[in-house]
Amino acid sequence: MVNIKTILLVCAGMFATVSCSNKTVHVAGNTAKPKSTVSIATLPFKMPEVQLPKFKADTLNILDFGAIPNTEQLCTKAVNEAIKKCSESGGGVVVIPPGLWTTGPIQLKNNVNLHAKNGAYVLFTSDLSQYKLIDSYFEGNKVLRCESPIMGINLENIAITGEGIFDGNGSKWRPVKISKMTTEQWKTLVNSGGVLSKDGKTWYPSEGSRIGNEEKDKLPKNATPENMEPYKQALRPVMVSLVNCKKLLLDGVTFQNSPAWNVNPLMCENVTLSNLTVRNPWYSQNGDGLDLESCRIGTVTNCRFDVGDDAICLKSGKDQEGRDRGKPTELFTITNCVVYHGHGGFVIGSEMSGGVRNIFVKDLTFIGTDCGLRFKSVRGRGGVVENIWMEDIKMSNIPNDAINFNLYYFSKTASEDPLTGEMIVDKIPVSETTPAFKNMYFKNIYVDGAQQAIKIMGIPEMPVENIQFKNMVLRSDAGIQVNYVSNIEFDNVDLKLKKSGFAARLTNGQKINFKGFNSTGENQVFLVGGTTTKEVNLNMKNKKLNDKDLKILESIKDEVKVTE
């Protein structure tokens, strides 16, 4: 056994002190634990201090358990035996030295810090026989799924740290759509093997993958690990699956190229994620970056995301199963993160049936992200999203909406009367399946280029409620559009349109207040429609509104007040 305690004690960039045998030792890491831009004392909600894991100084090296670097020989047994030995002896650090390490699934254990040194490249094997089919979770539900490359279940006091890279070899698992590739890329992919969908627009790595995705009626009705084996390539796992774990730390490493979602803590408590790089090809199907699901008490700080689906996403289960679980994602601060490519920069939903609440988000930057701040659900989900604070958000070159609420996700979108702006959608009774988004506060938001600045599509039986936008600078093609909202305020918002149109389209809303609003580049400032619209107050900062600036549905003119 190689003992590198001395090296760990003097290594630059150590961050967490712990007590062991009456001595103070450090957990190896690549940088000091980042100082957040917020403290729990200043948060708008009460939050306990996040508990960090603590580890003994005892250190094991995977080389001493038979791992061989820079070959295709699997080191699965060596890595897992080192982790098991470390845990059984009271915990400590398991070191992955520099080198290329090919491995099957890694099983984390209590009280172990898996530390990947700078230069360590852990590549998970493309041999799918190494990944057993097990009872697992995906997209908010319990399902039969392949083992994740990195797994931890019912654990406490665990970490993955260092400067190394963990690569999920996701290209061996994922289907690819022709619309997401250049002609030359598509040609190369098709010539590499695999099979095409019947319409020729989707590539699959195998026939089993195609059937498992496109012809599910051919799958066994009562799925078991045995009868689903031919289709296992369709049962793509998340890369880092941490279920019901406490005192969890992920720091400094790179997680990339995942089979499906990348990092997925589920029902975990006291979660610290810092200095991570999370990467997926931009065309990767279900290639989310981080999915915090039904977790409570934690921080996400100083991370970088460049992925194929939503980047930083909060979830809490799907439909009835999520409501029965009843575990909201709550009590998190998310600060100092950058998102490059991704469908959404910061996202809540669409699987949010257990609720999301008491979240503080600050100092995020989105560069070329498809959508900036994204909130999504649909009738049938249920769940309440509330008490969300977002401030100091910077965005540039957003191809779609800078801020988007869509309560019709995966559903038929409501249609719009082109003359009145009236949204044509039936109102249905409120029940436990009705999703609710309320009490959300946006402050100091800066958008330099987006297709649309703000778009909110609520539902008539449960409008998006109590939303405040304050101190915003918005540069976009289209302006602000809100439908089925209640108690919404725009305070000191500066909007500049790159294309002519309405600065703000307001329909079927109650208590809509514009205060100190400034806009340029529009044909008309406000369109106000919807027969249920009430109590609209419009105030401009540097302009006196006249009739040519306003288009108001005749039947609701008395509900619209203009002040100077």
Give yes or no: 309 in active site.
Answer: yes
Distance CA 284, CA 214 (A): 17
**Rounded to the nearest 5°, which phi and psi values hold at 69?**
-80, 165
Length of the chain equals 564
Return the DSSP state at 197.
-
- Burial per residue of 102-137, b for 16 or more beta-carbon CB atoms within 10 angstroms, e otherwise: bbbbbbbbbbbbbbbbeebbbbbbeebebbebbebb
The candidate with the shortest Cα–Cα distance to 173, out of 237, 129, 107, is: 237
Distance CA 78, CA 101 (A): 11
Tokens (6 digits) for 519? 């806009």
HEC assignment per residue over 300-367: EECCEEECCCCCEEEECECHHHHHHHCCCEEEEEEEEEEECCCCEEEEECCCECCCEEEEEEEEEEEE
Which class for 372: exposed (0-12), middle (13-18), buried (19 or more C-beta within 10 A)? buried
Q: Are 311 and 344 in contact (CB under 8 A)?
A: yes
Give the DSSP H/E element, type plus range, for residue 84: helix 76-88
Tokens (6 digits) for 214? 């496109």
Give the DSSP H/E element, type plus range, for residue 83: helix 76-88
From 291, 306, 343, 549, active-site residue: 343
CA distances from 315 to 342, 349, 405 (A): 17, 5, 15
Rounded to 5°, angle at Cα 61 from 52 and 265: 35
Return the DSSP state at 50.
P
Rounded to 5°, angle at Cα 64 from 24 and 85: 60
- Is there a cis peptide before residue 486, judged by omega within 30 degrees of 0? no
Distance CA 183, CA 160 (A): 39
Tokens (6 digits) for 551? 């288009």
- Maximum separation of any 2 CA atoms in the chain, in Å: 83
From 288, 309, 310, 363, active-site residue: 309
The candidate with the shortest Cα–Cα distance to 166, out of 152, 153, 149, 151, is: 149
Is the alpha carbon torsion for 462, 342, 478, 418 positive or negative?
A: negative
Tokens (6 digits) for 145? 């799924």
**Rounded to the nearest 5°, which phi and psi values hold at 233?**
-65, -20
Catalytic site residues? 309, 343
